Amino acid sequence: MPIRILDKKVVAQIAAGEVVERPASVVKELMENALDAGSTQIAVEVRGGGISLIRVTDNGDGIASTEVELAFERYATSKISHIDDLQSLRSLGFRGEALPSIAAVAEVEMVTCAAGSTEGTYVSLEGGVVTNKKAHARPPGTTITVRNLFRKIPARLKFLKSTATENSHIANVVSQYALAYPEVAFRLDIDGREALSTAGKGSLMDSVVAVYGLEVARNMVEIKDAADWSPVRVTGMVGAPAISRAGRDGISFFINRRWVNSRLLVWAVEEAYHGLLMTGKHPVDIINIDVPAGEVDVNIHPAKSEVKFQNEPRVFVAVQKAVRQALVAQMPVPAIAEVATAYRPPSTGHPPSLWKAMPPLANTPTHPAPTLAATLPALRVIGQAMASYIVAEGPDGLYLIDQHAAHERILFDQVRAQRGQRAIEVQGLLEPATFEVNPREEEVLKSHLAELVDLGFALEPFGNRTYLVRAMPVVLGKGDWSGVLREVLDGAEARTDWSERVAISLACHGAVRAGQSLSDDEMRELVLQLEKTSSPHTCPHGRPTLIHLSAGQLSKEFGR
C-alpha cells in the first residue's frame, strides 16, 4: 500500500485517543489546567457518567480574548517555550494537547475571563472547529462545558463501562487532586448530587476526612520529613494496618504534586509495611514526593500518568524509610516485631505428587459433579495439626483438610443456596453501626445496593457518604462485616459476578480461621458438611481444601 499523509481529522482523533481514554480523562485534564491557572476553587459537575455533560468551573487566571481560539490548537501552550523547559517542569500540563483532544471528540463550550479584564469571552466548538465566539460577562476564571462525549465515535462509546463505573473513575480523579491540593476547595456534583466537597484551608487531614471519612482519618499518621534524604523530600500521611484494603486503590502518589502511578513506589511502600499487613492486604497512604524537576521525566506517557526518576534507588529508599519511620512512630517497636512474626504467611506449596492423587471432577449438566462421599471413603477424624489442618484417616491413606478453606466452601454453598431460594438468614446488630465510604466507593455501593440487601445486609443512607448498617448475614457470625463491604467495594473492577464476589467474601470472613482450635465434634461436623458441598475439593477462591497421602506413598517414603 502507498504511504500517504493522514487526514487532519483522523490525526486529531488518534491524538485524542491517547489523551481522552474515558470521561475521567477529560475531568483530569481540565482540573490540571485549572490548577496550573492558580485556581483556589474548582467545581466539577457531571451527568450520565460524564458522557452527557462535564462542566469544570474555576476562579483561576482565565484566558485573554485574543488567545481563546489559539488554546484549542494542537501544541499551543503557555507552560513551555524552549526544549530546555522540559528539564524544569513544575506545571501539570505542558503539551498543549488537552483542549484540542477534547474538542476533537465532543461538543465544547468555554466561557473565560482573564484576570484584570472587564469582559469575558464565550466560544463554542464542534468537531474541533470554532462555531461561535462572542463577548460574555464572567468573573475572572474559566468554565468549560463538554457535551456528548464520543457521540460521533460509537466505537469508543461501546468500550466504556456502566454509568456507575464511569462516575466512580471521575470521583477518584477529583478525590486524588483534593488530596494533592488541600489548599484548593473542590466540589464534585454527580447527576445533581454533591459527591465531594473540601474546605480548601490547606489541611491535608481535612481532605482525608472529606475523601475517606473519619474512621480512616483517625488511623492516619503524618510523615515527618527527614533532611538526610535530600534532595528527595517525602511528606504526606500513612494509614495504620487496621484500615488496610483488598486493592491498591488506597495508595496515592504525587510527584511534585502530580498524581502518578509507579510500580517502583508501590514496591517501596509495601516493603515499608513488610510484616505488618496480611497477605493480599494493602495500605491507605498519601505520599507526596518532591524532587528537583531535572531529576524526574514526566514526558514518558501521553496522559502524563507515569514518570521516570534519574536516581530510582534514592527515591525508593527515601519513600520506604519515610513510611516505615512514620509507622514506627505510631506504635512501639516491640509491637511491630510481634505483628511481623504473627502475620508472616506460611508457604502454601505442596509436592506435585500429592496433587496427582486428586481425581478430576466432571461438572457438566449431563454429568453432575460427584460429592466427596462419592469419590472418597468414610473418613475418621484423628485430630488437628498446627491448629489449622484436620487430620483424617481413610482405608486408602491420610487426608489433610484445610479447616479454613473447607469451611469457606461450606459457607459459600450455603449463601448461594439461600440466595437462590431468596431466604438469606439475617441477624440484626444490637446497635446500628455506621459505614463511611469515599466518593468512588459510594458510586459503586449505590449501583449495587439492592444486591447487598438480597444477600442479607440492611443498609440505608445516613448523611453525607455514610450508611447505617442494621443487619448482616448470619453466615458471618462474629466476622468482620465492614471488611466484607470494604473488600467488595475495593474490587469493583474485578471481572466477576458481583453477587458471587460478595458471597465469596462472606464465606471467607465467616469461616473458622487458621490457628483456631476445634473440638472433635466440630471437626467431624465440618467434614460431614464438606461431603455435601458442590465442589468439596476447592474453596471458592480455587485453593484446595484437602490433600491425599495414599497408603502406597506412605509405604514408599518409609521404605516398606
Residue 375, domain CATH = 3.30.1370.100
pLDDT of 135 higher than 90: yes
Residue 468 main-chain phi, psi, to 5 deg? -100, 125
**Mean pLDDT (the chain, rounded):** 82
Is residue 522 situated within a structural domain? yes
Give the C-alpha distances (Å, rounded to integers) separating 323 from 207, 218, 226. Answer: 20, 17, 11
For position 274, what pLDDT does the model report?
79
Grid cell 464542534 — which residue? 126
Contact 329, 526 (CB under 8 A): no
What is the mean pLDDT of the segment spanning 13-25?
Answer: 76
Q: Is 478 exposed, middle or buried (0-12, 13-18, 19+ CB in 10 A)?
A: exposed
* Alpha carbon of residue 433 to chain centroid: 24
Contact 263, 309 (CB under 8 A): no
Range of the domain at 314: 219-343
Q: Which residues are CB-neighbours of 560 under 8 A, at least 6 positions away?
A: none
Q: Is the domain of 397 the same as that of 490?
A: yes
Is residue 2 situated within a structural domain? no
Is residue 317 situated within a structural domain? yes
Is residue 415 situated within a structural domain? yes
Q: Is the domain of 77 the same as that of 24?
A: yes
Q: Is the domain of 277 the same as that of 423?
A: no
Look at residues 153, 173, 206 and tell me which one is the last residue of a structural domain. 206
Q: Is 98 exposed, middle or buried (0-12, 13-18, 19+ CB in 10 A)?
A: buried
pTM, entire model: 0.72
pLDDT confidence band for 309 (50 / 70 / 90): confident
Burial of 290-323, coded b for 16+ CB within 10 Å and e otherwise, reads bbeeeebbbeeeeebbebebeeeebbbebbbbbb
Tens of pLDDT along 79-133? Answer: 655 665 556 566 676 666 788 889 988 999 999 999 888 899 999 999 888 999 9
Grid cell 488506597 — which residue? 250
Q: Is the domain of 298 the same as that of 384?
A: no
Is residue 393 situated within a structural domain? yes
For position 383, what pLDDT does the model report?
93
For position 49, what pLDDT does the model report?
95
pLDDT of 148 higher than 50: yes
Interhelix angle 481-490/498-510, rounded to 10 degrees, is 140
Tens of pLDDT along 280-308? Answer: 889 999 999 999 888 887 766 666 677 88
Q: Is the domain of 332 the same as that of 310?
A: yes
Q: Is the domain of 157 the same as that of 241?
A: no
For position 4, what pLDDT does the model report?
72
Backbone φ/ψ region at 288: left (φ over 0), alpha (ψ -120 to 50), beta = beta
For position 411, what pLDDT does the model report?
92
Look at residues 206, 233, 267 and tell me which one is the last residue of a structural domain. 206
Look at residues 158, 174, 206 and tell me which one is the last residue of a structural domain. 206
CATH code of the domain in which 231 resides: 3.30.230.10
Is residue 331 situated within a structural domain? yes
Is residue 1 situated within a structural domain? no
Least confident of 208-222, 482-496, 519-533: 482-496
Q: Is the domain of 98 the same as that of 174?
A: yes
Q: Is the domain of 175 the same as that of 241?
A: no
pLDDT confidence band for 397 (50 / 70 / 90): confident
Share of the chain above pLDDT 70, in %: 82
Task: Return the CA Rg of the chain.
Answer: 28
CATH code of the domain in which 134 resides: 3.30.565.10
Q: Is the domain of 337 the same as that of 446?
A: no
Q: Is the domain of 245 the same as that of 308?
A: yes
Q: Name the domain count of the chain.
A: 3
Give CA–CA dist 537/359, Å, rounded: 10
Is residue 3 situated within a structural domain? no
For position 15, what pLDDT does the model report?
62
* Segment of 193-197, 240-244, 360-364, 392-396 carrying the highest mean pLDDT: 193-197
Q: Is the domain of 333 the same as that of 361?
A: no
Q: Is the domain of 526 the same as that of 421?
A: yes
